[in-house]
Structure 1
Amino acid sequence: MNEELYNFLLGKIFYFCQLPSYTKWGIWSFEPDGKIKGMHSDFEQTWKIENGRLLILDSQGHVTCIFEGQIEKMQKSHLLRPGMEHFQVALIATDLIGYDYFDSLCPIENDLVAACMETGSVANEKLRQLLLEDKTIDGYYAGRAYAVKRKDLEIGLKQYKGVFYDLELSQNQPDFFTKKLLVWFPGLLSYNHGNARENFFPNPFEGITGSIAKNTVVLRIADSNLINGSYYLNTPNFRDYEQNIQELIAKTAEEEGILRENILCAGSSRGGMGALYHGLLGNYALVSMDPVVDRSPWLQSADVQLMFDCIPVSFVDKLNQLLEKTNLSAEKIQVITSPQVPITYPFIIQLKTWKLALKTYRMKLADEQFDYQPYGGKMHGDFVNRNIPLLLMKINEFLYGCDSIENTIDEKTL
């Protein structure tokens, strides 16, 4: 056991994180001479293995952490320094993308990402291979990006078969309303953060329960794939992603005793695509705000979202196939958009619009000449962000509709 753990530790990079937030305190490598080489570490430390356990020692030889070793990942520990015993920490193995994989040294995060976007470059090909190995980026330090096995990510979320999610139950709420499930698919505010959670789960709509019908369970599903998600679609590295999302929704509904007709999928932008696709796939009612159903605007100058050829450029055909087969009425498929948004509207209207309730709004948005994203991304963002009340209204129409009664008036009572 000691030899196995010793060989596992050498030649790898580890995150040293505080729990439960997984805040990265440092990045360590274990040297054969017993020293710990650390980035962002303020302490001189050494290491040794005893009885299958990894011991971390300070400069005085005092044990500060004890980790129970596991191949692939390290266990958690409490700090043993005086006065810091309440801190729980974790040591997590990663893989490293170093300078040698890039055409030139990349001293800052944005330059490193730009190198990866250059089709055919060494960095681009290396990153694509890592994605096919089901790894993602979680951290940029000292000109290096750190690749972690996606299934081993520690980002403070629950996980079901590789799908990361958060579940907010309807606690201490009276049950005079029918119990409902809102499945929220977060959008993509920006991309290529050093933090995988920010890429997968950037807009969880925290606090939404205060603005929607009571007795509603909220299931938030992170787009847990590639680097910036995959629009909740299968990829070569995650071939059962869609199925696992569907299973998670069904599992949550069953455990909470919620009927299918009381489930709503919702989201905007990337999340709008997730809500639209998975609502149709599972025959769930949906509200989709300005969904991205074609990626071509994001591919004009470079593959800025770093999705390579892992998913189609256009999702229109996939969506139309589902629309053709759906049992949902058009009013259960609410899609909100605006002709003033050039990167989404021309593609949305390529859908079988007679099979859905397309709600279009005329908005005064930012002039294109002031749009810092040449493909029109700011107008898309403006439309989504300025119309959160509209999205909430549509969500609540469905949630309250689960308990609505058609009013009938007996003429004899008039």
Structure 2
Amino acid sequence: MERSLVKNVYTMRIMDLNCSHGSHYINTINYKNYEKDIQNAITKVISKLEIDKENVVLYGVSKGGTGSIYHGSALDLKVVAVDPILHLGHYNSKNDYHFLKDLRKEDLTDSINKSLNNCADNEKYIICSRNVKFNYEQVLKLNKDKIKVIDMVDKMVNSHPEVSRNSVPEQLMFLNMLFSKLN
């Protein structure tokens, strides 16, 4: 993806090593300050590189999409999130697919909405698909005045992993659009 972004863009990659399979960049019972540590790392890099906050875009897919919309809302940054997992209920009911049952907050929509209510006008896009019903319904619970939901109506998208791989052009379009609006 980086090769297809506008020029002069720094990339900060944050790996989610919390719990056995990551916690979607969210606090867990074993790492109660994870969110604060992630947000501090982001703000430290912004400060060190002297980047205006308006020129920062958080991007992620699936679990990374969860982190990007969660922390982008908390820090009031621009966001491109692809099919974020905002609620673990569907996944926990199927044999705890993400190995997070009882380890972190199950539903993040209220927390994200609380942060969104304090956000200015930094654009936030979520690319998802109504064909992935559970995730799509959760995204629709977010404050529609603060985010733009892009529904990938595509017959090739019928499951969560298919959203990302079938929306790469759209992801690049939104990322480049947000980076091109730099001050």
TM-score, normalised relative to structure 2: 0.93
Q: Does 1:227 align with 2:20?
A: yes
Cα-to-partner distance string for 1:165-218 (whole Å, 9 max, x where unaligned):
xxxxxxxxxxxxxxxxxxxxxxxxxxxxxxxxxxxxxxxxxxx33110111110
Q: Tell me what 1:317 maps to.
A: 110
Q: Does 1:363 align with 2:148?
A: no
2:176 counterpart (396, 400, 403):
396
Q: Does 1:348 align with 2:165?
A: no
Cα-to-partner distance string for 1:135-168 (whole Å, 9 max, x where unaligned):
xxxxxxxxxxxxxxxxxxxxxxxxxxxxxxxxxx
Which amino acid in 1 is paired with 2:132?
V
SS of the residue corresponding to residue 309 of structure 1 reads: coil
Task: Write the distance in 2 (CA, Å) between the matches of 1:355 and 1:390.
Answer: 19
Superposition map of 1:162-173 within 5 A = none
Structure 1 residue 263, shift from structure 2 partner: 0.6
SS of the residue corresponding to residue 95 of structure 2 reads: coil
Cα-to-partner distance string for 1:241-268 (whole Å, 9 max, x where unaligned):
1111111111112222211111110111
Task: Write the distance in 2 (CA, Å) between the matches of 1:301 and 1:357.
Answer: 29
Task: Write the distance in 1 (CA, Å) between the matches of 2:2 and 2:93.
Answer: 38
- 8 Å Cα contact 1:270/1:291 also seen in 2: yes
Task: Write the distance in 2 (CA, Å) between the matches of 1:268 and 1:359.
Answer: 14
Cα-to-partner distance string for 1:319-362 (whole Å, 9 max, x where unaligned):
11112222235xx1111112111231111111122221122231
Q: Does 1:242 align with 2:22?
A: no
Q: Tell me what 2:100 maps to.
A: 307
- 8 Å Cα contact 1:275/1:287 also seen in 2: yes
Q: Does 1:288 align with 2:81?
A: yes
Task: Write the distance in 2 (CA, Å) between the matches of 1:361 and 1:302.
Answer: 28
Task: Write the distance in 1 (CA, Å) between the matches of 2:29 and 2:94.
Answer: 25
User: Where in structure 1 do 4 or more consecutive aligned residues deviate above 2 Å?
Assistant: none
More strand by share: 1
More helix by share: 2
Task: Write the distance in 1 (CA, Å) between the matches of 2:151 and 2:93.
Answer: 26
- For structure 2, the residue ranges without an aligned partner over 5 or more in a row are none
Relative to structure 1, the CA distance from residue 219 to residue 280 in structure 2 (aligned partners, 3 Å threshold; closer, same or farther) is same
SS of the residue corresponding to residue 12 of structure 2 reads: strand
- 8 Å Cα contact 1:284/1:328 also seen in 2: no
- 8 Å Cα contact 1:340/1:365 also seen in 2: no
Cα-to-partner distance string for 1:281-324 (whole Å, 9 max, x where unaligned):
11111111111111112122311221131112211111111122
Q: Tell me what 2:161 maps to.
A: 381
Which amino acid in 2 is paired with 1:344?
N
1:254 counterpart (42, 47, 51):
47
- For structure 1, the residue ranges without an aligned partner over 5 or more in a row are 1-207, 368-378, 404-414
Task: Write the distance in 2 (CA, Å) between the matches of 1:209 and 1:348.
Answer: 26
Task: Write the distance in 1 (CA, Å) between the matches of 2:96 and 2:181.
Answer: 42
Structure with greater contact order relative to length (CA < 8 Å, sep ≥ 6):
2
Task: Write the distance in 2 (CA, Å) between the matches of 1:209 and 1:323.
Answer: 28
Tell me the percent identity. 27
Task: Write the distance in 2 (CA, Å) between the matches of 1:366 and 1:396.
Answer: 23
Which amino acid in 2 is paired with 1:392?
L
- 8 Å Cα contact 1:266/1:286 also seen in 2: yes
CA RMSD of aligned residues (A): 1.5
Task: Write the distance in 2 (CA, Å) between the matches of 1:240 and 1:392.
Answer: 32
1:269 counterpart (57, 62, 66):
62
Superposition map of 1:34-45 within 5 A = none
Superposition map of 1:46-195 within 5 A = none
Q: Tell me what 1:337 maps to.
A: 128
Which amino acid in 2 is paired with 1:231?
H
Q: State the number of aligned residues.
A: 183
